[in-house]
Amino acid sequence: MERLQIQKEAEEFVDELASIKGHEFLQKERDLISKAYVVASKAHEGMVRFSGEPFINHPKEVARILASLGMDVVTITAGLLHDVVEDSEGKVTLDDVIKIFGREIARIVDGVTKVSSINPPVGMSDMKRKIETIQKMFLAMAEDMRVIFVKLADRLHNMRTIQYVRDEEKKRYKALETLEIYAPIAHKLGIHSIKSELEDLAFKVLYPEEYYMLKRLVAEKKKEREARTKEYMDILKAALEEHGIEAKIEGRYKHYYSIWRKMKERGKRFEEIYDLIAVRAIVKDVPTCYSVLGIVHSIWPPLPGRIKDYIAAPKSNGYKSLHTTVITQYGEPLE
């Protein structure tokens, strides 16, 4: 009965991941993820996290994060299995993973274990050089970049639940490590949603008073911000439609840590920080992307030196886009 129950849970979880990704898996892909779920469930049986919840919830959440990033089935499977060797009390070995899932998945699982074993000294002098060295070490150890994606998803869920860690010193260390090591790596890989959330979660631990102050101030300006963002999006949408360009227009507000850093760097109060809104246009091909850039600059004048061409020079993860900062009709910067 227990085996049937785990299998049923596995099938339901595969359906959930397919929903997150936005498309169905092939049967062989379903079988692979389902098998990983069963192995992970048995490996972590009886184990609990600091929160008191079953340990299996952690690899499940890692798999969800990877699915939301659009990662392939092999990476999602490795995400489910990433702790089975290190945290199974000897129930599962790396050889077991090789036999059951093959060398490709086993290499990712082993890579995550090795990267996790690095304990970088954070908060020391000569910070920039030290951080760059550690980032290179992380990236070099992960010959397969999928190792880094799994590790980032692992760290993100651990930071989402860090409030359950009782050791305050350990909590602050993990937050500082996240801010100095993991968030910059996410930035290098172009995973801005992960970078922003990691920074905000670390910011909340390291500077709780400033975090909650900003959260309150941002909430107070919410209606005004949403109205301004919608206005910019509507202006851009109308201009693109006038030129016969189809685009998905999105708007977002800068995250708390980014705002706080701007305040510190510029020595300004929250009310004096204006470049807090970003608008994005997603189009079908590269030529259209450059056309949109020209249209944006015909609406709002660009700030000199703030154009970045990630199409001509893509990021290491293949991320391609054009970035510009313009001055709007209200005299405020808009990215």
Q: For this structure, is 86 an active site residue?
A: yes
By CB atoms closer than 10 A (0-12, 13-18, 19+), residue 130 is middle
Residue labelled with tokens 């490709």: 104
For 87-110, b/e burial (b = at least 16 CB within 10 A) is bbeeebeeebbbeebeeebbbbbb
User: Is the separation of the CB atoms in 44 and 59 below 8 Å?
Assistant: yes
Q: For this structure, is 143 an active site residue?
A: no
| Sign, Cα dihedral of 306, 200, 205, 220 | positive
Closest CA to 325 of 278, 270, 274, 259: 278
Selected catalytic residue, list 87, 96, 144, 335: 87
Q: Tokens representing 206?
A: 């390291």
Selected catalytic residue, list 86, 96, 144, 309: 86
Residue 281's beta-bridge partner residues? 249
If one counts every other C-beta atom within 10 angstroms of the C-beta of residue 171, the result is 16
Residue 327's beta-bridge partner residues? 333
Residues with a known catalytic role:
86-87
